[in-house]
C-alpha cells in the first residue's frame, strides 16, 4: 500500500479506501489505484491482517455433533442449517462448519477449535461431555446452544420442550388403546451402543434431548398406570433409516407384543415403517409407528409425528448470536411444536 501511495502520489488511506470504502473516491481515482495494483500483482488488503487489527473474523462457527457430511444428508440438520445461513446472510457474516464427530479426542478438538477464525459459536445438539464443546468454551467467545447441552454458563439457548412434546404424542397413542409401546431412540452417549437400553444407561445419557423424549413417553405411561419396567427402548448409534429398520427388529425380538413404536426422529420412524412392511404388517392395523421432527418425507408418507420448527431454530440461534446487543447474558427461547396425526397410528389390532 505504501508503494502504491508513493507511485500515485496519494495517501495510504486513499489506497485503502479504494478497496474498503470505494464511495469515498471518484470512480476515476479508484480505477487508477486498482490498475496500478494489478500491475504490481497486489490483490488488496490481507483479510487475515485486517482481522488481527479489528479483532473480528466476520464469521460464525457452527459446532456439530456429527461428521460434516451429516449436515448435508440429515433433513432436520439441513433445515437448521438453512435457517442459520439466512441469519448469517442478513448480518453479512460467513459460516464455518466444525464437525465434532464421535471418536475424536481432546487434542484434536483443541487444535480444530483454536484454529477456527470466528467471532462466536452456535452449538447444535452436542453431548455435554464432548471434547469439542470443552474447547469451544475455552475460547470464551459468545455462544448460542441449540437444543443441547443445557446450562452452559453465559450461553443463550434455543430449543423446544422435548419432554412435553413427546408426552403429547404418547398420550395420543395411549388414548387410542395402546398398552405395549416400544421406543426407538438416537444415541444416548458418544460410545457406540446399538440395541436394547438398560435402565442404568437410561439414567445417565449425555444427550439431553433423547433423555427428555424418552421421559415424555414414560410420563404418559405412568399417568395411565402402565408398568414402566415393560417399556422397551432400543438405541441406535447411527442416525439413518437403515438403523430404524434394524432397531425395530431388535425391539420386537425383545417384546413381540409391542403394538406401537415411538421413534425419537422421523428418520428412524421411516426405517421402522420399512421394516414393518417388509414383515408384512399392516400399518397402523398391526403396528402404529410415530416419529419426531416433521421432515418433508415424513409428511408425504403420512407419518404421525411431532413437527418442530428446525429452520426457525437456526434462524433464531444466528440472530441471537449476531445481535448488536448481545451482552453475554443468557437468553432462552423456547419454540412451539405441533402434533400431526397421520396415517401411521391407529387403535391396536383392528379386527
Which CATH class for the 162-307 domain?
A: alpha beta
The CATH number of 2-45 is 1.10.260.40
State the first-to-last Cα distance of the chain, in angstroms, to the nearest integer: 84
pLDDT given at position 53:
56
> What distance in Å separates the CA atoms of residue 26 and residue 107, rounded to the nearest whole number?
52
pLDDT(185) > 90: yes
Let me know the angle formed at the C-alpha of 68 by 63 and 71, rounded to the nearest 5 degrees: 80
> Could you identify the residue written with the cell 448488536?
324
* Arithmetic mean of pLDDT over the chain: 88
Confidence bin at 190 (pLDDT 50/70/90): confident
What CATH number has the domain spanning 55-160+311-334? 3.40.50.2300
In eight-state DSSP terms, residue 156 is: E
pLDDT higher for 150 or 298? Answer: 298
DSSP type of residue 295: -
Q: How confident is the model at residue 104 (pLDDT cuts 50, 70, 90)?
A: low
| Domains 55-160+311-334 and 162-307 agree in fold | yes
d(CA 122, CA 315): 11
Beta-strand pair 260-263/288-290:
parallel
- Of 114, 111, 121, the closest CA to residue 146 belongs to 121
Task: Return the domain boundaries, the chain.
Answer: 2-45, 55-160+311-334, 162-307
The C-alpha cell 469451544 sits at 136
**Who wins on pLDDT, 172 or 55?**
172
- What is the tens place of the pLDDT at every residue in 132-143? 888 888 888 899
Residue 51 has pLDDT above 70, yes or no: no
Is pLDDT above 60 for 50?
no
Which stretches of the chain are assigned E, i.e. beta strand?
59-64, 94-99, 121-124, 143-146, 156-159, 181-185, 195-196, 232-235, 260-263, 288-290, 305-307, 332-334, 338-340
Q: Provide the pLDDT for residue 68.
A: 67
Task: Give the Cα separation of 97 and 86 in Å (integer).
Answer: 15
The reply to whether the predicted model has a pTM over 0.85 is no
Phi then psi dihedrals of residue 261, to 5 deg: -110, 120
Top pLDDT among 91 and 40 is at 91
Q: What is the pLDDT at residue 171?
A: 97
159 or 129, which is more confident?
159
Query: What pLDDT score was predicted for residue 269?
Result: 97
Amino acid at each position: 500500500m505504501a508503494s502504491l501511495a508513493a507511485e500515485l502520489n496519494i495517501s495510504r488511506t486513499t489506497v485503502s479506501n479504494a478497496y474498503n470504502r470505494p464511495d469515498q473516491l471518484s470512480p476515476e481515482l479508484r480505477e487508477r489505484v486498482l490498475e496500478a495494483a494489478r500491475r504490481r500483482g497486489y490483490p488488496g488488503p490481507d483479510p487475515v491482517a485486517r482481522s488481527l487489527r479489528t479483532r473480528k473474523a466476520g464469521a460464525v462457527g457452527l459446532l456439530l455433533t456429527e461428521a460434516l457430511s451429516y449436515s448435508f444428508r440429515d433433513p432436520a440438520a439441513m433445515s437448521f442449517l438453512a435457517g442459520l445461513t439466512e441469519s448469517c446472510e442478513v448480518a453479512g457474516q460467513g459460516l464455518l462448519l466444525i464437525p465434532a464427530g464421535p471418536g475424536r479426542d481432546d487434542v484434536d478438538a483443541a487444535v480444530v477449535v483454536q484454529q477456527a477464525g470466528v467471532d462466536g459459536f452456535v452449538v447444535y445438539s452436542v453431548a455435554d461431555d464432548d471434547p469439542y464443546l470443552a474447547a469451544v468454551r475455552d475460547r470464551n467467545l459468545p455462544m448460542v446452544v441449540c437444543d443441547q447441552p443445557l446450562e452452559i454458563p453465559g450461553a443463550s439457548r434455543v430449543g423446544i420442550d422435548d419432554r412435553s412434546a413427546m408426552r403429547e404424542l404418547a398420550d395420543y397413542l395411549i388414548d387410542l388403546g395402546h398398552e405395549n409401546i416400544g421406543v426407538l431412540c438416537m444415541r444416548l452417549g458418544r460410545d457406540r451402543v446399538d440395541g436394547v437400553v438398560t435402565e442404568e444407561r437410561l439414567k445417565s445419557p449425555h444427550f439431553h434431548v433423547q433423555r427428555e423424549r424418552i421421559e415424555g413417553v414414560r410420563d404418559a405411561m405412568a399417568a395411565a398406570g402402565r408398568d414402566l419396567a415393560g417399556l422397551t427402548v432400543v438405541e441406535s448409534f447411527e442416525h439413518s433409516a437403515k438403523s430404524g429398520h434394524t432397531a425395530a427388529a431388535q425391539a420386537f425380538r425383545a417384546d413381540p407384543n409391542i403394538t406401537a413404536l415411538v421413534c425419537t426422529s422421523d428418520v428412524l420412524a421411516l426405517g421402522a415403517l420399512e421394516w414393518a412392511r417388509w414383515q408384512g404388517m399392516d400399518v397402523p392395523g398391526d403396528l402404529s409407528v410415530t416419529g419426531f421432527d416433521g421432515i418433508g418425507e415424513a409428511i408425504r408418507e403420512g407419518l404421525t409425528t411431532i413437527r418442530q420448527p428446525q429452520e426457525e431454530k437456526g434462524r433464531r440461534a444466528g440472530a441471537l448470536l449476531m445481535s448488536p446487543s448481545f451482552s453475554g447474558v443468557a437468553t432462552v427461547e423456547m419454540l412451539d411444536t405441533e402434533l400431526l396425526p397421520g396415517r401411521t397410528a391407529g387403535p391396536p389390532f383392528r379386527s
